[in-house]
Amino acid sequence: MSSVSQAIHANLAQLKPLPTRTSSGAKLPNLLLDARQIAPHFTSYDTYLFDCDGVLYRSSSPIPHAADAVSELLDLGKRVLFVTNSSGRSRSSMRDKLAETLGLPGLTAEQMVPSCFAAATYMRAHHPGVRKAYVIGGGGIADELSAVGVSCLGGADESGLSADFSESDIESCDVDPSVGAVVVGMDSGFTYAKIAKAALYLRDPKVVFIATNKDAFDVMPSGRPQPAGGVMAAAIEHASGRVATLVGKPSKILGDMLESGLGVDLSASLFVGDRMDTDIEFGHNNGCDTCLVLSGCTTGNDVNGFAAEGGTGRPLPTIIIPSLGHFSTKFSSNL
């Protein structure tokens, strides 16, 4: 049994019988473990929106039968989109990764919705006059901004910023007056120098401030937390006294973009994710049914807490299933 399968089984082993309502009277989501219960949800929506890490794969390991579920939905004529808060890859690069990881070469870039694409789409629609941005984050942000005519400073290729950024460095730091936006995503090379430089640009209230996501952390397969893009955004918000516009999950901005830009009817869609604070809350904010899987960040003990603590304080999912693979008919005999 793979480590991913072991983690799913461990989460299932943690589950206690789930009542229909919390101690405060709120209705709890249906926990579906049987293929006959899950099957109706496999065909009842027009569009299926999938988070990626924790739903389709964990680190570099595919979730068992997740690719089969996606393939079967496509064969049924369902629309399938992949919506992630990751900003490190452009749509085309994300397509290449998913096609290889899942073994689905027919996937297209148009099915990919990384948060860097959301940032570029928002910029083009709401700030068409911006022609240059200072970027903190991976190459996906620069690629997508370039595609809408915005050139970039900083980003994955930024060099020349000393790790020891002194007062004199701040005083002498070159600030390009043509920069009209600061765009922040996940940056594993995040430094004090980048905070200082971003804050200098944001002194000008006309400079747009965008965060691809505000996730505090991801959960690694080992269970250890990994600081995420929201850490960078929060540091720059604090240093600049500005609040970034969030364009990723769970924002209404992203929902509006999916509906008006990509023609998705969210009222006829199911969002499948592994996080309560991004995936499930996105559905709540945008009128979309949600499915929580137990193959990523959310554990069986977390689900137990829905009832024991009277809910999570956040919107609850429509349904809960062990993994996306449980949607597949090929997985039914192994339930």
> Which residues are the active-site residues?
46
Q: Which residues of 219-237 are buried (b: 16+ CB within 10 A; e: fewer)?
A: beeeeeeeebbbbbbebbb
Integer Cα distance of 69 and 334 in angstroms: 14
Nearest to 233 by CA among 207, 261, 199, 271: 199
Gyration radius of the chain's alpha carbons: 21
98, 104 contact by CB (below 8 A): yes
Continuous segment of H or E residues that includes residue 247: none
DSSP-H helix ranges across the chain: 3-14, 35-38, 66-75, 91-102, 115-126, 139-147, 167-172, 192-201, 229-240, 252-256, 262, 281-285, 300-308
The DSSP result for 63-121, as a single string, is PTTHHHHHHHHHHTT-EEEEEES--SS-HHHHHHHHHHHHT-TT--GGGEEEHHHHHHH
Looking at the DSSP assignment, which residues form a beta bridge with residue 321?
A: 293
Integer Cα distance of 133 and 161 in angstroms: 17
